[in-house]
Every structure is written in C-alpha cells, then in structure tokens.
C-alpha cells in the first residue's frame, strides 16, 4: 500500500535524506520518496503503516508529521 505523508520543517536536501532514513526504518516500509517542494513523503509499505511509529521516527529526526 502507498501512503502520502505531509511533513513540516524540511528546508534542504539534508532534511530530505534525514526524513527518508527515518521513514525507511519503520517496520514494513519498502520505499520512500520525499519531495521537498511539496513537503510530502510517499511511502510504499508491505502492509498497514503504524502511524504512531511513523510519527515517532519523524519527530525523533527533528521534523513534524502534519
């Protein structure tokens, strides 16, 4: 399944890499694409995403799940 997340606080390519890394560590996540311009992350996962875990990873990396 594919989920599109809105993420606040990303300002540069480093942020994109940090968010991609954070999201790729969530269980079941197979592919992550972060778009800086729109502030979104497209996540492909093998099953339903644990949104609590997603939020935790993003916040730990220093960003905010909108």
Binding residues for Cu ion, per CB under 5 A? 11-12, 14-15
Least distance CB 34 / Cu ion (angstroms): 11
Please name the residues in contact with 34: beta carbons below 8 A apart, sequence gap of 6 or more: 7, 10, 16, 19, 20, 23, 40, 41, 42
* Least distance to Cu ion, CB of residue 7, Å: 12
Q: Measured from the CB of residue 14, what is the shortest distance to Cu ion in angstroms? A: 4
Sign of CA dihedral 15, 10, 32, 49: positive
């Amino acid at each position: 399944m594919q989920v599109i997340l809105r993420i606040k606080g990303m300002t540069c390519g480093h942020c994109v890499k940090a968010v991609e890394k954070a999201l790729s560590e969530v269980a079941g996540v197979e592919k992550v694409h972060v778009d800086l311009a729109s502030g979104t992350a497209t996540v492909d996962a093998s099953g339903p995403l644990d949104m609590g875990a997603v939020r935790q990873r993003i916040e730990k990396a220093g960003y905010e799940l909108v």
